[in-house]
Amino acid sequence: MTLFLLSIMVFLGGQVLPGNVGRAILGPFADQRAVDALNHTLGVDRPLLAQYWGWISNFVQGDMGTSYIFRSPVAPFVIDALGNSMKLAAVAFVLVVPIGILGGVVAALNLNRPLDRIISLGGLSVTVLPEFVTGIILILIFGVWLRWLPISAAWPRDAGFFTQLYYLILPSLPLFLVLFGYIARMARSGMIEALDSDYTRTAVLKGLPWRTVIWRHVLRNALLPTITVIATQTGYLIGGLVVIETLFRYQGIGSLIFTAARGKDFPMLESGILTIGIVYAVATLVADFLYSVLNPRIRLGSDQ
């Protein structure tokens, strides 16, 4: 449902709002006949509904249309780019989920002590910085001054796994920072709520060791909401990819969309965005599934 609406919006945004596509591509001085001819080739002179139907039914079958710029099918570009982006996102994700959760948990266990203040305020500060700002600063520090890491993510041809990883560290760091504060914050507030709960009191008053109380009784309930948040963050993560991939000259879905946008390559642009929508929807589904698996109240419903 959400995807359907999204596809309509993308369609409207990409094909209707710009008005005359042929004119937009060929520029204001092109011959009107050439514009009409191009519009006809592109099929944008058909009725809207027909255009939408053609576009979406092709998309579902894996045909994402033909790029205006490259004059070749969009699909391979999108799939390649998506793969690259996934690599980058995976590195960031694998780093940030455990560290973010750990940060939040540690902060909550040291509530209102200096360590908590540092993690909370530090997390808040890095989370709100635009990726290109942290990116630039990190490039300056690690790429230009210390020369520890390459400043471009474009690894040499035939690079192995570890080389690729090496090239991906710097670009993934800004994404890491943005997500870290967010996840840590959620984990922290979930922990505080769980620590304040009656069931934690019950567990403590049973005489269970503190370690058991935390591991068995607190963590699971505390981190449930964080799981949902992590999934919704995939959307923002992809938004961040647009910037990071541009900054680090990396061939991912973000830079694909960016390039398409600059070149007014609408089929490419629409397919890219719709792909992102699908990734987001899948991530949300996975999160819902995980959440219900971990939460017996949803899994089993109530007998009452």
Residues 122-151 that bind other proteins (CB under 8 A): 124-125, 128-134, 136-137, 139-140, 143-145, 151
Select from 91, 243, 256, 287 the one that contacts other proteins (CB under 8 A).
Answer: 243
Please work out the total of residues on this chain that contact other proteins, with binding judged by CB under 8 A: 79
Contacts to other proteins from residues 154-193, by CB under 8 A: none
Q: Token match 């997390």: residue?
A: 123
* Cα 284 to Cα 64: distance, rounded to the nearest angstrom: 24
Q: Is 105 in the site for other proteins (CB under 8 A)?
A: no
As measured in angstroms, the least distance from the Cβ of 58 to other proteins is 20
- Other Cβ atoms closer than 10 A to 233: 23
Residue (75 or 242) nearer to other proteins, CB: 242
Q: Is 25 in the site for other proteins (CB under 8 A)?
A: no
Residue (44 or 111) nearer to other proteins, CB: 111
The residue among 292, 280, 262, 287 whose CA lies nearest residue 24 is 262
Contacts with other proteins, 249-288, as mask; x by CB under 8 A: --------xx--xx-x----x---x--xx--xx-------
Contact 270, 257 (CB under 8 A): no
* Cα 161 to Cα 165: distance, rounded to the nearest angstrom: 6
Q: What does DSSP assign to residue 145?
A: I
User: Counting Cβ atoms within 10 Å, is residue 155 exposed (0-12), middle (13-18) or buried (19+)?
Assistant: middle
Select from 239, 288, 290, 291 the one that contacts other proteins (CB under 8 A).
Answer: 239
